[in-house]
Amino acid sequence: MIVILAAMDEEVDALKGSIKIKEEKMIHNTECIFGELKGKEVLLAKSGVGKVEAAIRMTMIASLFDVEYLINIGSAGSLDENIPVGSVIIPTILGVHDFDVPDEEWSKDFTDERHTFYPTERLLKIAKTISDDKTFFAPHVSGDSFIYRDDQIEKIKREFPRAKSCEMEAAAIANACEVMDIPYIIIRSISDVTVKKDSEIDYDNFLKKAAKNSALFCERFIAKESQDAL
C-alpha cells in the first residue's frame, strides 16, 4: 500500500475527503485511515508535529504494513521570497537544521552524509512530469521549531544557504525511510514566507490553503504513478 503521512488535522482533512474510506482506527495512538485513492490502496496517517513524532509513526507503520512507497504531505515555510504562499515545494535533498555538536568533522549545507537525505529519484521524476510554474524542486531543511524570527532565519541561511523551505518533520521521515529501505517523496505547500515580516500571521491565514494544494498534488502524483506502473 501507499502510506501518506501528514502532521496535523488540517493536513489530514485536506486529503481525507478524496479517499474511498474502508476503515478508520487508532493504532498505537496513531490516527489511521485505510482506503482507496486513484485506484490504489492507501493508508493516510497523522504523524503528529516534530521530528520525533514523525519518525516514531513512520517506523511503526513500516513495521506493521508492506509499504510500496511513502508520501509526506502538508505545509512548509518558504525561505525565498520568490517561492510564494500556495506554491508546491518538493525537496530534492533534505537536511536537519537544528542538529549541532562540537565536532570538527560536522559540517552544514547538506555536506554531512549522516544527516542528509535524498528522496527517491524515480518518484521525483514522476513529480516533475506533473509540475507547473507553481511547483518548485529545491533543497529543504527540517527542525523542531516554527521558523519566523530573524535569528532563526539567519542561522539557517548561514548554515544551509541553498535551502529554499523548512518545516518540522520531513527530514526525520526521510531518515526513517532510508534506514528501512522504503521509497519516498515529500510534497509540501507553502503556508508562510519566513523571510517576510509577520510570517506567522500568514501561516494562520493560509495553512488550509497550503494543506489543500499539497493534497491535490498528492492525488495527481498517485494517479500518474499508477498510470506509469501499468
pLDDT of residue 164: 97
pLDDT of residue 144: 94
Averages of pLDDT over runs of 10 residues in the chain (230 residues) are 96 97 96 96 97 96 96 96 95 92 71 90 98 97 92 93 96 97 97 76 78 97 87
Rounded to a whole number, what is the distance in angstroms from the first to the last CA of the chain? 16
User: What is the extent of the structural domain holding 86?
Assistant: 2-229
pLDDT of residue 77: 95
pLDDT of residue 103: 65
Angle at 62 between CA 61 and CA 63, to 5 degrees: 90
Please give the Cα distance from 82 to 66 (Å, whole number): 39
Please identify every residue annotated as catalytic.
11, 192
pLDDT of residue 195: 80
Total number of domains in the chain:
1
Asked whether 47 and 27 are in contact (CB, 8 A), the reply is no
CATH number for the domain that contains residue 112: 3.40.50.1580
pTM of the model: 0.93
